Amino acid sequence: MSVSREEVLRIAQLAELDVEEEVVPTLAEQMSRILDYAAQLSAVPANGTVKVFVPGPDAIRFRIDEVTPSGLAFGPEEFAPDFKEGFFVVPKLGQFE
């Protein structure tokens, strides 16, 4: 499984993170290696007869519908990088609004 340069860039876009041009080839190669390694999973028959397994409780617990304290020791104004008049502030989407 070879991951192309274009795919690296497409995935980086989906994941909203910059990758410097210089590292794209290395990333493509490393991702290819990892995915090749992961391809061993084809040992599982493709007909889907094996059920998946996830540990943990078998069923979701229902929480009672009541308003509870926030559990915040301090509010967003203390940790937000840009906070004005009670709102989180972010730059506009730009031309893609």
Q: Which of residues 16-55 bind other proteins (CB under 8 A)?
A: 16-20, 23, 27, 30-31, 33-35, 37-44, 48, 50-55
Q: CB pairs under 8 A, 24+ apart, for 68-75?
A: none
Q: How far is the CB of 49 from other proteins (least distance, A)?
A: 9
**Which helix or strand (DSSP H or E) is residue 83 part of?**
strand 83-84
- CA 51-39-31 angle, 5° bins: 125
φ/ψ (deg, to 5) at 44: -75, 130
- In the window 57-76, what residues touch other proteins (CB under 8 A)? 57-76
Cβ–Cβ under 8 Å, residues 27 and 19: yes
Looking at 2, 6, 25, 87, which residue binds other proteins (CB under 8 A)? Answer: 87
Find out whether 15 and 21 touch, Cβ atoms under 8 Å: no
Least gap, CB of 21 to other proteins (angstroms): 12
The yes or no reply on residue 5 touching other proteins (CB under 8 A) is no
Least CB distance to other proteins at residue 4 (A): 12
Query: For other proteins, which residue of 4, 6, 8, 25 counts as binding (CB under 8 A)?
Result: 8
